[in-house]
Amino acid sequence: MSILAINGGPKIRTELFPSQNTFNNHEIAAAMNVISSGRLSHYRANWTSDFYGGPRIKQLEKDWSKKFGSKYSIAVNSATSGLIAACGAIGLQPGDEVIVTPWSMTCSATVPLIFGALPVFADIEEDYFCLDPEDIKRKITKKTKAIIVVSLFGQPYNQEINDVAKEHGLYVIEDAAQAPGAMYKDKYTGTLADIGVFSFNYGKHINSGEGGMITTDNIDLEIKCRLFMNHGEAVLNDISECDASTLNWGTGIQNLVGFNFRMTELTAAVVIEQLKKFDDLLEKRLKNVEYLDSDMLDIPSIKLGQTRLNCTHSYYVLPYIWIDTKLYRDKYIKAVKSELMPRKDRDTEGVPIGCGYIKPIYLMPLFQTGKHWALKNTSQKYKKGLCPVAEDLWENKLFLTLLHAPNSTIEDIGDVSRAFIKVWENKNEIL
């Protein structure tokens, strides 16, 4: 009789894992206060105090800067919007090149296209999954304007990249959407580059459904980001009628065309409450990781994900490397998932364990067809083999779990551990 659930045996777990919803009465009360006020947004696209948003926006930006150590924080309606504003703030133009990662949410690589700039893909580090500074050096040309780094899975990006950028006069934009709370020495992710960007999308460490934050210590970049996210051309039209010289906003803003990337008071109210419990939520996440990692050490075909020297990790996802040459990763993971159940409120998504993260971005249809106007005249070749480390991890080695995230308990993680061990001990059933 079969032991493994994939072959008809009994499952390790038959109940759904806890919901990842971390809202309570505090978020509900904060949202209701905004709704009762009848003013869900205070923004205006002209030169008044409301150019900076309403009281909750201002409070959130102040709280964020205090928590994570940035001089300036700018609330936006998504991390994608934040990346667009950041690229606009550094003056990205058609013909520029931006070095990007093949492994992230697509916007981390595609945002330059909005400005007519060209994404140039560099490979990633096999142990840490972030951009490899050595491959970045090989990809720099006279056209390179910036590097968009991603602190992936909760791991701070390699700080050698800052040295490379400084040597070549390049901007560094950090996508820290997956890594709030992680640190390099005494600095938080999101403050390690010229501009940082965070996400409050559902499933992230801090959740408001949608939303994001831009961080920077550079006042010139700060005001340019603000103008990009709130109809800058209209605001500057107002300022031209008053004493603009007192603002000391620098140069290069007169030809700026802004967008509406504004966060609502409703979203800000929720994020304020989520930020108050951030440390507790992160601690629970880290304890679950420690527990599962300790048991995974007993499986010789699994290599734990590494944390970079002088860094902490905030584990948006928990990565592992499959190193068995006889049993294919996907077959093993499929058997493990058969032993478990999905999360409550996300049960249609299946068990949150996956193989390979994402297909490298340059292999997606956008780059394979080459029909986007910014790609039509490029000599860049977006072919398989461009980033061999990322491709190998995607096809053969990496697998991830999200089951360590709140509100999973140590008891829940025990079931996850038992599933991995059970399948390993009975792997002959699937070899």
DSSP assignment, residue 79? H
**365 and 228 part of one domain:** no
Domain range enclosing 393: 278-429
The alpha carbon of residue 102 and the mean position of all alpha carbons in its chain are separated, in whole angstroms, by 13
Question: Whole-angstrom Cα distance, residue 154 to residue 314?
Answer: 5
Burial (CB < 10 A; 0-12, 13-18, 19+), residue 117, is: buried
**212 and 263 part of one domain:** yes
Within a domain: 91:
yes
Mean pLDDT of 350-357: 97
Does position 97 have pLDDT exceeding 90, yes or no? Answer: yes
Question: Whole-angstrom Cα distance, residue 336 to residue 207?
Answer: 29
> Number of folded domains in the chain?
2
pTM assigned to the model:
0.96
Mean pLDDT of 106-110: 96
Question: Whole-angstrom Cα distance, residue 105 to residue 177?
Answer: 10
The predicted-structure confidence for 130-172, as pLDDT tens digits, reads as follows 999 999 999 999 999 999 999 999 999 999 999 999 999 999 9
The rounded radius of gyration (Å) of the Cα atoms in the chain is: 23
Within a domain: 130:
yes
Comparing 141-155, 314-328, 348-362, 367-381, which segment has the lowest mean pLDDT?
A: 367-381
The predicted-structure confidence for 221-276, as pLDDT tens digits, reads as follows 999 999 999 999 888 888 765 555 566 666 667 678 899 999 999 999 999 999 99
**303 and 265 part of one domain:** no
**84 and 230 part of one domain:** yes
3-state secondary structure at position 294:
helix
Within a domain: 2:
no
Mean pLDDT of 124-129: 96
Does position 409 have pLDDT exceeding 70, yes or no? Answer: yes
**pLDDT at residue 255 in the model:** 73
**234 and 118 part of one domain:** yes
Find the CATH number of the domain harbouring 366: 3.90.1150.10
Among residues 69, 58, 292, 46, the alpha carbon closest in space to that of 184 is found at: 69
**173 and 305 part of one domain:** no
Q: Please identify, among 244, 276, 308, the residue that sits at the C-terminal boundary of a domain.
A: 276
| Local confidence band at 2 (pLDDT 50, 70, 90 cut-offs) | confident
Q: Please identify, among 243, 260, 276, the residue that sits at the C-terminal boundary of a domain.
A: 276
Does position 90 have pLDDT exceeding 70, yes or no? Answer: yes
Find the CATH number of the domain harbouring 64: 3.40.640.10
Within a domain: 247:
yes
**418 and 316 part of one domain:** yes
Q: Please identify, among 254, 276, 298, the residue that sits at the C-terminal boundary of a domain.
A: 276
